[in-house]
Amino acid sequence: MVKKSFKKGFLDGIPIGLGYLSVSVGFGILAVSKGLSVLSAVIISMTNITSAGQVAGVTVIAAGGTLIEMALTQLVINIRYSLMAISLSQKLDSSFTTPHRLLTSAFITDEVFGVASTGAGTINVKYMYGLVTAPYIGWLAGTFIGAALERVLPASVTAALGIMIYGMFAAIVVPAMKTSRGTVIAVAIAAAVSCAIKYIPALEFISQGFSIIIAAVIASAAAAVLKPVKEEPDEA
Amino acid sequence: MKPEIILYVAVMAGVTYLIRMIPFAAFRKKVKSRFIRSFLAYVPYAVLSAMTIPWVLESTGDALSAGAGFAVAVVLSYKGFSLLTAALSASLAAFVVGLL
């Protein structure tokens, strides 16, 4: 289990890559169905490598939101990566020079972080590059396949595949709710605020991007007050 | 790509990269504030919840098939099935209900 070789990292990354391949098909379909080109969808996946942020970003683009709204949306949704990056930085050995940190940081995702940061000992750069290879390939390939298929597949099939990314969100959130009361609170409040903004006529001027930010900030702050985490951030 | 799309993508990718890169390259200490640690720990789940509810109902163009697909995903997730199984099963359920 020593995390020091490219091969070991690559093998560890294969299950993540297969998961990303299927989920990013859903992103590709979503992006094209919202009016983006296949090329735009692939470039977004190439440069962002994050499901939730990309879905929100495509939503902002489709709604004609402002660049400020785009920046704020990405900041709130992806700020968790800062926490993961801080946590993971404690696990790196001396092979992680600044140039390697600048490059590998772009590939930190929830799953990559989960695999890289768990277990004993440090990791080196070879392992890190190996680990992110399959997820990156899977993410790009799936996006391309989904975006290209959007125009080919029958509408009934693409409509059904459009829900896939939300199925993945459920698979991340629901298991966490079973073990953390604070997560239940955060999820419930976020859903309630999100519904309120969507369905209360007086609030309908709020765009979807800002709705996500407002709901997430209120819900996370409330949960943090009611149920502060006890463990280290990487275990929360 | 239209020029305005390039601007959007540049902002999106730039912000997302800086969020990951700055702490990874520079930060060596742990966050001390318990409130901030807690807040950051809950953010991903709150975001996913707010992105999903109620918007998932519009994901298939038909609230009934979307609701059915999402219900299947929630039940399978609760029972501990993998991300892949939950996502594909949600699609399959939405497809079947969409045919009815």
The predicted-structure confidence for B10-34, as pLDDT tens digits, reads as follows: 999 999 999 999 999 986 666 678 8
Q: Residue B13 is nearest to which of A47, A170, A208, comparing CB atoms? A: A47
CA dist., res. A95 & res. A126, Å (int):
9
Question: Tens of pLDDT along chain A (236 residues)?
Answer: 578 899 989 988 887 888 788 789 989 999 999 999 999 999 999 999 998 899 999 999 999 999 999 999 999 888 878 878 887 887 888 899 999 999 999 999 887 887 787 667 789 999 999 999 999 999 999 999 999 998 888 888 878 877 887 887 888 889 989 999 999 999 999 999 999 999 999 998 887 777 888 898 899 999 999 999 875 544 43
Chain A closest-CA separation from residue B30 CA (Å):
7
Within 13-72 of B, beta carbons closer than 8 Å to A belong to 13, 15-17, 19-25, 27-31, 34-35, 37-56, 59-62, 65-66, 69-70, 72
* Chain A residue with the nearest C-alpha to that of B97: A160
Yes or no, beta carbons of A216 and B82 under 8 Å apart: no
- Interface ipTM > 0.85: yes
Chain B closest-CA separation from residue A8 CA (Å):
22
Interface residue B80 vs chain A (CB under 8 A): yes
DSSP A165-207: HHHHHHHHHHHHHHH-HHHHHHHHHHHHHHHHHHH-GGGTTS-
Yes or no, beta carbons of A161 and B30 under 8 Å apart: no
Q: How many helices (H) and strands (E) does chain A have?
A: 12, 0
The per-residue pLDDT for A56 is: 92
Residue A204, burial from CB neighbour count under 10 angstroms (0-12, 13-18, 19+): exposed
Yes or no, beta carbons of B46 and A81 under 8 Å apart: no
Question: Tens of pLDDT along chain B (100 residues)?
Answer: 677 899 999 999 999 999 999 999 986 666 678 898 788 778 878 888 988 999 899 888 899 999 999 999 999 999 998 777 888 899 999 999 998 8
Yes or no, beta carbons of B40 and A82 under 8 Å apart: yes
pTM (2 d.p.): 0.74
The per-residue pLDDT for A231 is: 59
Chain B closest-CA separation from residue A1 CA (Å):
23
Yes or no, beta carbons of A101 and B98 under 8 Å apart: no
Q: Residue A140 is encoded by which pair of tokens?
A: 């790009």
Residues in A closer than 8 angstroms to B15, CB to CB, are 70-71, 74-75, 78
CA dist., res. A179 & res. B53, Å (int):
21
Instruction: Please name the amino acid found at residue B85.
Output: T
Chain A closest-CA separation from residue B33 CA (Å):
10
Yes or no, beta carbons of A163 and B24 under 8 Å apart: no
Q: Residue A194 is nearest to which of B1, B54, B87, comparing CB atoms? A: B54
Classify residue A90 as left (phi > 0), alpha (psi -120 to 50) or beta.
alpha
CA dist., res. A123 & res. A8, Å (int):
11
Yes or no, beta carbons of A225 and B35 under 8 Å apart: yes
The per-residue pLDDT for B30 is: 62
Yes or no, beta carbons of B43 and A232 under 8 Å apart: no
